[in-house]
């Protein structure tokens, strides 16, 4: 199962205890939207709970600061990047390279500030 940090995702019924533990770890739940693992969530604990409750492996991914799509697709640092440790947004392949990539990143951050 792939979970993109900061994005809503759905889970099968977890049971009261697992649900409560997941919320205690900092995960959010909204009916109609599902679950979300926000920036201040205890990621390793949340992943452990989800893995135990669903019996599935959990793969974390982060979103692109510029386009908000998943950033981890074909990432050259896939083997060294621990997504439960690094800050929860990154850059996708399109927005991390080429001329003006840094300026694009700065502009995206500034626009998110003004929202």
Partner 1 sequence: MWSEKYRPNKLEAMVGNEDAREKLVSWLSKWKKGKSAILVGPPGTGKTTTVKLLARSGGLNLVELNASDVRTKSQMSRKLGEAMASSSLLGERTLIFLDEVDGLAGRADYGAVDFIREAVKESLNPIVMAANDPDSDEVAKLSRGALLVHFRPAPPREVELYLSMIASKEGLRGPNMREIVKEAKGDIRYAINALQAGKADRKDTEPTREAALNAFFDASDLRGRIGALRSYPGQPRDKVRDLMTSVLASGVAGEELVNSMKALSDADLLLGRMIRGGDWRLLRYLDAMLASGFGREPESGMRFSAGSVPWPLQLRIWNDSKKVREISGLAGRRLKESARKALVEDFPFMMAMARDERFRDELVQSLNLGEPLATFVTKEAKRK
Name the residues that contact partner 1, by CB under 8 A: 6, 38-40, 62, 65, 71, 75-77, 80-81, 83, 85-91, 96-97, 101-102, 105-106, 109-110, 112-113
Which is nearer to partner 1, 14 or 89 (by Cβ)? 89
**Residue 28 Cβ vs partner 1, minimum distance, rounded to whole Å:** 14
Main-chain phi, psi angles of 12, to 5 degrees? -65, 165
3-state secondary structure of 88: coil
Main-chain phi, psi angles of 51, to 5 degrees? -60, -45
Which is nearer to partner 1, 2 or 15 (by Cβ)? 2
**Residue 79 Cβ vs partner 1, minimum distance, rounded to whole Å:** 9
Sign of CA dihedral 6, 12, 17, 18: negative
Report DSSP state, residue 82.
Answer: -
Which is nearer to partner 1, 56 or 78 (by Cβ)? 78
């Amino acid at each position: 199962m792939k979970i993109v940090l900061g994005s809503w995702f759905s889970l099968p019924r977890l049971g009261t205890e697992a649900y409560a533990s997941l919320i205690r770890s900092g995960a959010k739940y909204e009916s109609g939207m599902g679950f979300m693992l926000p920036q201040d969530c205890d990621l390793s604990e949340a992943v452990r709970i989800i893995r135990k409750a669903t019996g599935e492996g959990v793969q974390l991914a982060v979103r692109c600061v510029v386009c908000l799509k998943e950033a981890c697709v074909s990432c050259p640092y896939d083997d060294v990047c621990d997504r439960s440790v690094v800050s929860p947004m990154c850059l996708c392949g399109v927005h991390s390279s080429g001329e003006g990539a840094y300026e694009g990143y700065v502009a995206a951050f500034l626009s998110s500030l003004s929202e």
